[in-house]
């Protein structure tokens, strides 16, 4: 499945597992040591719609020792619809996503970078 075709929940789950390294236990996100992360139930941690959580993913990339460049361009209109373009540079490659929701565009670009860097 393409990242752009994922539901909000699928995208959030993929970021939690693949980017953050968390696992789901009793409805809570926990790290590898079993520590509850962000005191949020699985459905509440929502980088696809929450800029703070999307940037938390980008910060995790940086903490892993990689140079991370995140940018969101000014919106543009196409056919009367406003779109946002987000870029993530990681491991000397650029990943780009375009979406009508800026946090969704950034979250997609982050997941593309994680999957593409493996």
In the chain, the domains with their CATH numbers are 3-117 (3.30.2120.10)
Query: Within the chain, where are the H helices?
Result: 8-14, 51-63, 102-117
* pLDDT tens digit at each of 118 positions of the chain: 899 999 999 999 999 999 999 998 888 899 999 998 876 667 789 999 999 999 999 899 888 877 677 888 878 888 888 888 888 888 788 889 999 899 999 999 999 999 986 5
Place of tokens 């509850």: 36
Q: What whole-number distance in Å separates Cα of residue 54 and Cα of residue 79? A: 27
Conformation bin of residue 80: beta by default, left when phi > 0, alpha when psi is -120 to 50? left
Q: What are phi and psi of 73, to 5 degrees?
A: -75, 160
The pLDDT of residue 110:
92
User: Nearest Cα to 55, choosing from 112, 96, 109?
Assistant: 109
Prediction pTM value: 0.88
The pLDDT of residue 78:
82
The pLDDT of residue 118:
52
């Amino acid at each position: 499945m393409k990242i752009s075709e994922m539901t909000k929940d699928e995208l959030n789950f993929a970021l939690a597992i693949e980017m953050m390294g968390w696992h789901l236990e009793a409805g809570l996100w926990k790290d590898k040591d079993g520590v509850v992360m962000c005191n949020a139930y699985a459905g509440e941690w929502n980088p696809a719609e929450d800029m703070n959580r999307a940037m938390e993913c980008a910060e995790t990339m940086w903490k892993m020792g990689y140079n991370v460049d995140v940018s969101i361009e000014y919106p543009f209109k196409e056919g009367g619809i406003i779109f946002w373009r987000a870029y993530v540079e990681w491991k000397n490659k650029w990943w780009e996503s375009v979406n009508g929701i800026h946090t969704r565009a950034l979250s997609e670009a982050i997941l593309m970078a994680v999957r593409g860097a493996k």
